[in-house]
Amino acid sequence: MSPAARFSSRKVMASVSNAVSLKPGLFLRRPESSALGLTPRRASIGLGCFRRSYVAAAFANENREFVIVGGGNAAGYAAWTFVEHGMADGRLCIVSKEAHAPYERPALTKGYLFPLDKKPARLPGFHTCVGSGGERQTAEWYKEKGIEMFYEDPVTSIDIDKQTLTTDSGKLLKYGALIIATGCTASRLPEKIGGNLTGVHYIRDVGDANSLISSWEKAKKLVVVGGGYIGMEVAAAAVAWKLDTTIIFPENHLLQRLFTPSLAQRYEEFYQDRGVKFMKGASVKHLEAGSDGRVCSVKLEDGSTIEADTIVVGIGAKPAVGPFERVGLNALAGGIQVDGQFRTKIPGIFAIGDVAAFPLKMYDRIARVEHVDHARRSAQHCAKSILSSQTHIYDYLPYFYSRVFEYEGSPRKLWWQFFGDNVGEAIEVGSFDPKIATFWVDSGKLKGVLLESGNPEEFQLLPKLARSQPTVNITKLRNASSVEEALEIVQKSLMAEAAE
């Protein structure tokens, strides 16, 4: 059977019905449990109605049967899946605001920021899909695969009834099936308090990272606003540049949404030993400019001032819904509401990656996850649902990680991974040197686990634990003398339940 015939005959193309009830939850973690009201079903309009619109779009321009809007990780992995199914050549179009083919965005706050003498990451080295062991999808790769690319030409409007998109340059694109993969934009400090001054940086793309590197080549004093992933990774890279670095954040400790106070203290001490200073519980009042118009200091709400010639702001991100608000948003999680196959309420329109508010099946809530792992998996799941007979709903296990101080000459590299949900009692085992683990236990069941500096076998165990949620002996876990002993305890619990 030809790819076109397989496409026409598949059942999965029916999109989510307007009647499907999607009850909102909270962003990322700890929302109150709610019944999603999600039952896998097909839209009442049936395949024939969708196929007629699909054929019309294909007739108008065979290269735009499928359109992906967005040029990040999710778009790259979706394109890979289209190629695997033989449905990319002459059929797929990607519309991006980026100047580059999709790439692995986490590199921008890790290896990309290393000093030039410490082998920094550079394109084309981290184009998708190298992050998961796939092909390096350069601009030439898309050409070879027959995928039409529009660079630096973001979509400005959509006509849902006519199934058309308008881009910034005025292009009018007809689509048969549309995948929204627009990701997020960086949250910015207000312009009225100096958020747009020269020397103030935000990192979302290669251009942002290049601008920061140029600034660091002349910088002496850096202030990082925000104590989350971006703040920690940027500050670690700044140590290699030998910059006088201060991290400012309003919370009580680093990465408050995940780290426990005691775990955060270990990381803070590690950073402080390398010269990084912390201003905890501090909020920015405004940024001050010198006579040359460049930022020169940060004024805090308590009246204190910190000198700085460069500032990096990492205070979160917002889903880039742009012209797609009419497709249907989730008021609490943010982003575009989808079902377990990433179908929106509009037939033929899908959303994936950071911008999608999706059912987090194992925790019975709606979530929006800003992470490369989810971007990859959601893209592949959505594309397979469109192109094959796959009908099972997305069953994602939350996963987060970070790697810092990985540059050449660093006396120690930090690499942690977390799987699951950080709810219940947190039990910490280990001394951080050489490794440390935190286990979250709720009603006797292991809900989540974080491990710093584990070996490959230990890291491979984590997702098995978090997904299976074995019942554990809390007393034994609390009394474990080492990370290895603690992991052995929970692994035995996992094996015992599997044998029952």
- Distance set, CA 119 to CA 3, 123, 157, 257, 331 (Å): 44, 13, 41, 32, 43
The backbone torsions φ and ψ at residue 143, rounded to the nearest 5 degrees and listed phi first, read -65, -45
82 and 176 share one domain: yes
CB 465 within 8 A of CB 474: no
Summarised one tens digit per residue, pLDDT across range 223-232 is: 999 999 999 9
Mean pLDDT in residue range 11-15: 35
Domain final residue, candidates 315, 337, 368: 315
- Structural domain that includes position 440: 413-499
With cut-offs at 50, 70 and 90, classify the pLDDT of residue 64.
confident
Nearest to 320 by CA among 129, 119, 156, 114: 156
Is the pLDDT score of 209 beyond 50? yes
Q: Is position 408 within any domain? A: no
Is the pLDDT score of 46 beyond 80? no
3-state secondary structure of 246: strand
Is the pLDDT score of 73 beyond 50? yes
Q: Is position 124 within any domain? A: yes
Domain final residue, candidates 268, 296, 315: 315
Q: Is position 394 within any domain? A: no
Residue of higher predicted confidence among 257 and 14: 257
Mean pLDDT in residue range 371-396: 95
437 and 383 share one domain: no
The whole-number pLDDT of residue 52 equals 32
* Structure token digits, residue 447: 């809900």
Contacts for 262 with CB less than 8 Å, ≥ 6 apart: 428
State how far the Cα of 131 lies from the Cα of 104, in Å rounded to an integer.
7
CB 418 within 8 A of CB 448: yes
Rg (CA), the chain: 24
Q: Is position 101 within any domain? A: yes
136 and 222 share one domain: no
Summarised one tens digit per residue, pLDDT across range 302-349 is: 999 999 999 999 999 999 999 999 999 999 999 999 999 999 999 999
With cut-offs at 50, 70 and 90, classify the pLDDT of residue 389.
confident
Residue bearing tokens 């009580």: 252
3-state secondary structure of 470: coil
243 and 97 share one domain: no
Own/partner long-range contacts of 252-261 (Cβ < 8 Å, ≥24 apart)? 252/280, 252/281, 253/227, 253/280, 254/227, 254/228, 255/227, 255/228, 255/229, 256/227, 257/28, 257/29, 257/228, 258/400, 258/418, 258/422, 258/450, 260/426, 260/428, 260/438
Residue bearing tokens 């919370």: 251
216 and 179 share one domain: no
Where is average pLDDT lowest: 33-37, 129-133, 235-239, 358-362?
Answer: 33-37
CB 489 within 8 A of CB 480: yes
